[in-house]
Amino acid sequence: MHTETKPNLDTAFKKEVYQGLTSFPKYLSSKFIYDKKGDRLFQDIMALPEYYLTDCEFEILSDHKEAISRFFYGTNSGFDLIELGAGDGKKTKILLKYLVQRDINFTYKPIDISQNAISSLSETLAKEISKLNFEGETGEYFEVLERLKKYNVRKKVIMVLGSNIGNLLHPKAIDFLTQLKNTMHKDDVLFIGFDQKKNPQTILDAYNDDTGVTAAFNKNLLFRINNELGGNFEPDHFKHWEVYDPETGTAKSFLVATKAMNVFIDTLQLNITFKPWETIHTEISQKYNDDIVSWLANEAGLQIETSFSDSKKYYKNYILKKK
């Protein structure tokens, strides 16, 4: 049940919260977890021993930085290294330091939905890699993809780390890759991470740690709604729940109401009822193998040039180019 009065949905956050919580079943987008607190919680997640993704990609970039960088080099005019979802840049710094130390002509253009992440990254890179050419931007992926079309002066290397594409089901992933392809020229490169299928228990543990950090991360959606939209959610009465389907390779996160509740969101003038054990779907994390990645790339008009894996074969970074 919700009120008939239509509120002023003048931001993406308001619009998507309204749409998600008035749908059946209810959902909220994981991209809105990321504010200052959400960014900090995700750093905590990446430091968890169960969350293998960060260490695996860190290993790949450390062990293969020379081979990876060879695909990046442009002509005398250099290249733009455009990273979508840059976060804290911990892994990216491995490549940035390598390239700067070799006086390679490039500009690093990190893009993130969180202004806090871009500001923090700007400060740390200014201290750690002072010679780096840095031009950060804030925005959502699909907004920024339109801006990318302007970068036609020299070679573009578009980088998506952290298996961020895993937040999209296959049809949307194909759409995302197609839009990326449409911003690319013949010599441009897409360098992108895909978490691989593996022991289902390993995957479940990565998104359902015993310390409760992942639960707090997902619940930050409710705190943001309370703080920014005048909601009265009781986050303690929601349980974080994770499931993984090894057939489809889809891990899903939910917040489950542990009792009947009425929630009011003042800015949206929205009343929402929750029955006991009703869910809010908050996140998906898709897992892949070479066949799936090849199919996704082909559907989007891209092709795999090569890939790099960690020693456990848990994770892969692929070099994709236009067909």
The single residue listed with the structure tokens 């780390």 is 161
Q: Distance (Å, rounded) from C-alpha 197 to C-alpha 315?
A: 9
CATH architecture label of 52-196+288-322: 3-Layer(aba) Sandwich (3.40)
Computed over every residue of the chain, the mean pLDDT equals 93
C-alpha dihedral sign at 47, 162, 165, 229 = positive
Query: Does residue 3 register a pLDDT over 70?
Result: no
The domains of the chain are located at 12-33+202-286, 52-196+288-322
pLDDT in tens, 17-36: 999 999 999 999 999 998 88
Q: Distance (Å, rounded) from C-alpha 95 to C-alpha 65?
A: 6
Which pLDDT score is estimated for 108?
96
Dihedral angle at the C-alpha atoms of 223, 224, 229, 235, nearest 10 degrees?
-20
How many CB atoms neighbour CB 202 within 10 A? 13
Cβ(105)–Cβ(77) below 8 Å: yes
- β-strand partners of 225: none
- β-strand partners of 271: 264
Q: Distance (Å, rounded) from C-alpha 162 to C-alpha 170?
A: 17
Cβ(32)–Cβ(221) below 8 Å: yes
- Least confident range from 71-80, 188-197, 210-219: namely 71-80
Query: Which distant-in-sequence residues (6+ apart) come within 8 Å of 143 by Cβ?
Result: none
- Least confident range from 113-117, 141-145, 222-226: namely 141-145
Q: Distance (Å, rounded) from C-alpha 277 to C-alpha 292?
A: 34
